[in-house]
Amino acid sequence: MRAVLIEAGKIIYGETGDPSLGDEEVLVRVASAGINAADLLQVAGSYPPPWGVRHDIPGLEFAGVAIAQGEKVPTSFIGKRVMAIAGGAAQAELISVHHSSLIEVPPQVPLCDAGGIPEAYLTAYDALWDQGKLSIGQRVLISGATGGVGSAASSLAVVAGAMTFGTSRTEVGRKYLSSLGVHALDPLEILGAGPFDIVLELVGGRHFHACLSELRSQGTIVIIGVGDQSRTDLDMRLVMMKRANVRGSTLRARPQSEKAQLSRTFADRIVPHFATGTLTAKISKLYDAHDAARAYGDFATAPKLGKLVLQFDASLQ
């Protein structure tokens, strides 16, 4: 098969061996796969995949068509349009994953778009509901809201009936957030915009104290990204006074059982909104997989309004 490969800290597109198929796994021909910040870290050698996952193929999410399955897979997936998160190696023509991770793609969603859904939306869903305990009518702030996860979180919070605020440093980004139904803020406007019941932190240290200052008593900050700074000074007295809950969350290294449960809940509660068009994949740009090096370069340098996605097989619809 052909795949995006990491060689000496650089991205190339080339030939490599096909994945093996375990007894509980499904082999998927990949139509598309999103690019995430974790992929950049893996290319740089600072975020290796879990044990047993290839280190030289990045990719945490994909969509495609199931073409084979192991003997212990309890139901038939052959021929089904599916998407999933993965521990890695998703940016390839083929991938084998545990059957419990697979989510069926609604027929209304093109597979070229679906490859940009799982990582962003599952991360956002987990942060809002499992970590943040979101309920209708709450006030939510998403710090750094224009990227893939931020766009997904913004859309989910709006659909859930939350009063949703999001930050962007650019006027273009703020216009984009407004189009999603979000109250768009410059980061300098965080102070005075609260109080917030839930803050999703995607920027990191630069804005953390402003977010903490505007947190409602017993509110929750969920750290799911540190695109700006991973360290900050913390006023612990303010945490005490706020009775604040500060949580961190990632998906990649979780046990398969947790990923399976999250995928099932997401399939039941959120995927129907994609079928009706209430939610959509927030795709900024679609690249042919041959242009993976250029896509990675754009991801690292250009402002993002949604996801950048690689297309591996345009014939899969």
CATH of the domain at 183: 3.40.50.720
Spatial separation of the C-alpha atoms in residues 295 and 298, rounded to whole Å: 5
Contact yes or no for 46/11 (Cβ under 8 A) = no
Domain boundary among 229, 248, 267: 248
**Does residue 300 fall inside a structural domain?**
yes
pLDDT of residue 304: 80
Are residues 133 and 221 located together in one domain of the fold? yes
128 and 104 share a domain?
A: no
**Residue 269 domain-assigned (yes or no):** no
Q: What backbone torsions phi and psi does residue 109 show, to the nearest 5 degrees?
A: -105, 120
DSSP annotation of 218 reads E
229 plus 153 within the same structural domain: yes
pLDDT at 302: 76
pLDDT at 120: 95
Residue 33: the pLDDT is 98
Residues 149, 94, single domain; the answer is no
- Assess whether 292 and 219 both reside in one domain: no
In this structure, are 149 and 197 located in the same domain?
yes
317 in any annotated domain? no
Residue 15 and residue 48 in one domain: yes
The pLDDT of residue 250 is 86
231 is in which domain, residue-wise? Answer: 121-248
Please give the torsion angle defined by the CA atoms of residues 179, 181, 183 and 184, in that order, rounded to the nearest 10 degrees.
Answer: -20
Looking at the fold, whether 106 and 223 belong to one and the same domain comes out as: no
Domain boundary among 248, 264, 292: 248
| 11 and 111 housed in the same domain | yes
Assigned domain for 230 exists = yes
Contact assessment for residue 238 and residue 270, using Cβ atoms and an 8 Å cutoff: no
Nearest CA among 291, 310, 300, 269 for reference residue 147? 300
Amino acid in position 201? E
Instruction: Specify the number of domains making up the chain.
Output: 2
Q: Which of 227, 248, 269 is the last residue of a domain?
A: 248
Residue 233 is assigned to a structural domain of this protein: yes
Instruction: Specify whether 151 is located in the same domain as 58.
Output: no
Asked whether residue 265 is domain-assigned, the answer is no
Q: Are residues 127 and 244 in the same domain?
A: yes
Examine residue 292 and state whether it is found in any structural domain, yes or no: yes
Task: Decide if 298 contacts 308 (C-beta within 8 A).
Answer: yes
Q: 271 lies in a domain?
A: no
Whether a cis peptide bond, with omega within 30° of 0, leads into 195 is: yes
- Residues 152, 306: Cα–Cα separation, whole Å: 8
CATH code of residue 67: 3.90.180.10
Alpha carbon separation from 309 to 21, 88, 104, 197 (Å, rounded): 25, 15, 19, 32
Same domain, 90 and 132: no
pLDDT in 10s for each residue of the chain, 317 residues: 999 999 999 999 999 999 999 999 999 999 999 999 999 999 999 888 988 899 999 999 999 999 999 999 999 999 999 999 999 999 999 999 999 999 999 999 999 999 999 999 999 999 999 999 999 999 999 999 999 999 999 999 999 999 999 999 999 999 999 999 999 999 999 999 999 999 999 987 778 889 999 999 999 999 998 766 677 788 889 889 999 999 988 888 889 999 999 999 999 999 999 999 999 999 999 999 999 999 999 999 877 899 999 999 999 88
3-state secondary structure string across 110-143: CHHHHCCCHHHHHHHHHHHHHHCCCCCCCEEEEE
pTM of the predicted protein model: 0.94
